[in-house]
Amino acid sequence: AHLDQEDRDLAYEKKVQLQPHIVYLANSSNVKVGVTRKTQVPTRWIDQGAHEAIEIVEVPNRYLAGITEVALKDHIGDKTNWRKMLTNTVDDENLIEWRNKLKQYIPEEAAQYFIEDNKETHLEFPVMQYPEKVKSLNLDKTPNYKGTLKGIKGQYLIFEDNTVFNIRSNEGYYVSLTIA
C-alpha cells in the first residue's frame, strides 16, 4: 500500500497499512519485539500478558514497522513463552537499556522514527493466584469444566486448580459461564 500497488484491495490495504504503527519491546515471559497499530497500544500488550513494555519506533505505515521488526528479530526474540508468563516467573528488565542497545539495528529507512525519550509502561493483571504448573483446558477433550476463577492474564482465564483457558484459541466455540 505504501507504494500505491494493489495486492487484493488497495483501498482496504491503504486504510489498514497507511496509518501509524509502533514497534515495541514487551516483557511477558522474556523481552520480545512486536509490532502493532498505534491505536492498539496498550491493548496489544495487555493481550500478550506483558507486565512491562516500551515503544521503540513510531512509523507512518506497516511496511516500515515490518522491516524494523524483522531487523530486530535477528537480535531479540519475537515469541512469548505462555507457560512462563502464566506462572508469573518473569524478571523485570530495563527496557530502556534494551531499546537503546537495539537502536543500532533499526533499518536506515526507519531510524528517524526512533523514540528517544519515553518510559516503560507497567501493567498489572487481576490475578489472586498464579498456577504452579499450567494445565490447559481443551474444550474438545473437556467440554464441561467447573472451577473457581483466580485471575486473568493476557488472553487467559486462570483457575484455582492450575487450569488455564485461552480465550483466543477457543474463538468460534459457544461457551456458557455460570457465576455462583
pLDDT tens per residue across span 21-59: 999 999 999 999 999 999 999 999 999 999 999 999 999
> What confidence score (pLDDT) does residue 166 get?
95
* Grid cell listed for 52: 512491562
Question: How far apart (Å, rounded) are the C-alpha atoms in residues 134 and 49?
Answer: 15
> What confidence score (pLDDT) does residue 6 get?
61
Q: Is 1 contained in some domain?
A: no
> Where among 107, 122, 137 does a domain terminate?
122
**101 lies in the same domain as 72:** yes
- Residue ranges, the chain, pLDDT below 70: 1-10, 13
> What confidence score (pLDDT) does residue 131 get?
97
- Enter the pTM of the model: 0.86
Q: Is 66 contained in some domain?
A: yes
Is the Cα dihedral 134, 137, 142, 145 positive or negative?
Answer: positive
Instruction: Using DSSP, state whether 164 is helix, strand or coil.
Output: strand
> What confidence score (pLDDT) does residue 178 get?
82
Q: Is 67 contained in some domain?
A: yes
